Structure 1
């Protein structure tokens, strides 16, 4: 049941939109369904993306823009399947794994996902702490503690219902997007080159292949897949078959809009790096701190400040979403629920240790993405398995072509992550 008046209004507006004679304009009918995908999309604009996109733009200009487009199209498909699973069954992905897999397999998957949750926190904590340091001169360790407190405050809004939290996270995503709109206007990129590389695949040596692998391989995040299926549970419940299909179509719009914004942000990161660093011959920019320091002499203090704000909001929003995903994973796999602040302490402990030891922030972000790669097959493969089964999905079971595309996308992502792991460990 809705927890507050705002939730009640949202549910009622959604039910009105699903009725045979919906009221209001098409835009007002869509609004009640927007939100879950925006929360999940935060994983696609987290601090780990900053390092990869900046490095790709600085070294190869606009060359790898098509990779971002391709990876986000795959992400749209995967997140749509995740939303559909929760919508059709009333259970999230972690619960389905517990219900349909042998107990030892389910427990093993839970342990892997807990490691993934800690790796996720590591990247997000480091990004937010780095944002605090770059903008306000706050030491990394103090910035990490400030991030923990802010995250608990953001997630505390859940007690007021699903809509306030969706609104806050969506607003933070909007801030990140607006920051990059401003960056694009400041850097004045070459739009004809951008248009060409968006639709024309290409590489320039083995290093560009490796960076492309990193962009695609790190695009779909395991915790976002688990979380999105949970966000759809009980949000808007309908039993009528026709209304259920209509509801799913609205949720597809939610995914397309949210992931479209995430794609824009990722493209803008690469465009900013290409127009600023690659165009001026500074192709060796490889860290977030270096990019931040270099922006001011090249573009002025406004560009540097905007970049820092986007990094800070990225870290804070993704850290909040990561903690929420950790709760979903634990509750789904082993049916255990712990207090939010205890969960926060457990997952942030490795992050605080790494920061206290003084490890390089950008290198730490890269390593965290490698750990995430280990968990990715354990999210994507079960998702495709469950959504293709009519006995689980009912009327929303995948069409054969959908399963084929999803299976191919899963195989590509898993293969690229294996290649990324191989190249990381072999140098």
Structure 2
């Protein structure tokens, strides 16, 4: 019998952490990082240095819950916590993800319009339909390989930074020695970066992908039932998550750096969309940088939209005890795929509605920031719960890191409300 923890199997299955991290740099995130770089130059680079270990910690908690229990976050919440908590979290997540899908497909449509001309709204419709078709009709094992290749689109932002002149000594100093300010606009942007980097949909997605990997490999089992598989899987989760979150933050860092060294130094400080950042970059950094930046928006959107729609579907399916797996054919998991279709369709429809995409994205970030704290609290409690994790409750070190991340996000949310009230 094939050993599920063989080297070949381990390399083939590496990916939930990588895809989760890469999906964090979606077009909406690109807009946030671009605004931070344009408005504050190098002064916010430290935020991405700080959030890296926090991201690794909380995403490892999420992955371990999925792998050990054999169930996603929503299913575990349904089994062990009050219904009002489950439905409140899942409902807000569905709303936030749908708004985020709208912002992302709109940005992709606008990016393609910048590159080739034509109607941005219809490009957005095409991207939405393409994403939906890929999720529904491509089996999970092939689809996840496609998502892995799409992560390469993020390298466009690393390349862009080397196309333009960058004062690396100053950049390094500002990265390791934070510049702090108590101005409301500075605090608001710090909160936005934290909220964009540590997002609830990523928790649901990575836990569910660990469960999907269990379904895809007949020899793999939940670690509670197969403790002999724990050591290899925990090593894989640690490496996969560390690499995935590192990749995510490096790309975000270079987006912020590129816009700081180009737009910020040329007095362009008001960037509200990723497409606007690409447009502003063109006369300063040149045609090649513009094309790299714009193409990256499309590639990251194709990666992020399935994650947004999929995490909403996993959450709803777990909450209502529906069959859920991208490995299943649509006819066997109609409600699960129905949520993917509905959230994607509504997101695309919002692109045609008289809705301000910037305000929609802002309120999506607010909702994400608010629900991230209770979700993280519940995750930390679940990860230390013997009824859920059995003998594999998280270590003291990971527990401290997870609670630190939760505390930082709680402070960020309080700071957000403080700035809103001023």
Task: Place the TM-score, normalised by the shorter chain, in its bin.
Answer: 0.7 to 0.9
Partner of 1:52: 32
Question: Normalised by the size of structure 2, how large is the TM-score?
Answer: 0.88
- d(CA) in 2 for partners of 1:283 and 1:102? 46
- d(CA) in 1 for partners of 2:336 and 2:123? 20
Question: Normalised by the size of structure 1, how large is the TM-score?
Answer: 0.87
Indicate conservation of the 8 Å contact 1:373/1:421, yes or no.
Answer: no
Q: Deviations over 1:182-204 (max 9, x none)?
A: 20121131111121122112224
| Structure 1 position 216 matched with structure 2 position 202 | no
- d(CA) in 1 for partners of 2:26 and 2:236? 26
| Structure 1 position 226 matched with structure 2 position 209 | no
Indicate conservation of the 8 Å contact 1:129/1:144, yes or no.
Answer: yes
Indicate conservation of the 8 Å contact 2:23/2:300, yes or no.
Answer: no
- What is the deviation of 1:240? 4.8
| Structure 1 position 354 matched with structure 2 position 340 | no
Indicate conservation of the 8 Å contact 2:22/2:244, yes or no.
Answer: no
User: What pairs with 1:335-350 in structure 2 (closer than 5 Å)?
Assistant: 335-336=321-322, 337-338=333-334, 342-350=338-346
Unaligned runs of 5+ in 2: 323-332
- d(CA) in 2 for partners of 1:394 and 1:76? 22
Given the superposition, is the C-alpha separation of residues 115 and 81 from structure 1 closer, same or farther in structure 2, using an over 3 Å criterion?
same
1:15 match: secondary structure: coil
Equivalenced residues, count = 403
1:189 match: secondary structure: coil
Given the superposition, is the C-alpha separation of residues 157 and 185 from structure 1 closer, same or farther in structure 2, using an over 3 Å criterion?
farther
| Structure 1 position 253 matched with structure 2 position 233 | no
User: What pairs with 1:364-379 in structure 2 (closer than 5 Å)?
Assistant: 364-379=360-375
Partner of 2:299: 313
Partner of 1:88: 68
- What is the deviation of 1:268? 0.6
For 1:63, which of 18, 22, 43 is the aligned residue?
43
Note the aligned Cα RMSD (angstroms). Answer: 2.4
- What is the deviation of 1:132? 2.6
Residues 51-60 or 39-48, more deviating: 39-48
Partner of 2:328: none
User: What pairs with 1:1-400 in structure 2 (closer than 5 Å)?
Assistant: 12=2, 14-17=4-7, 31-156=11-136, 158-159=138-139, 161-162=140-141, 164-177=142-155, 179-206=156-183, 207-233=185-211, 234=214, 235=216, 237-238=220-221, 240-336=226-322, 337-338=333-334, 342-400=338-396
Unaligned runs of 5+ in 1: 1-10, 18-27
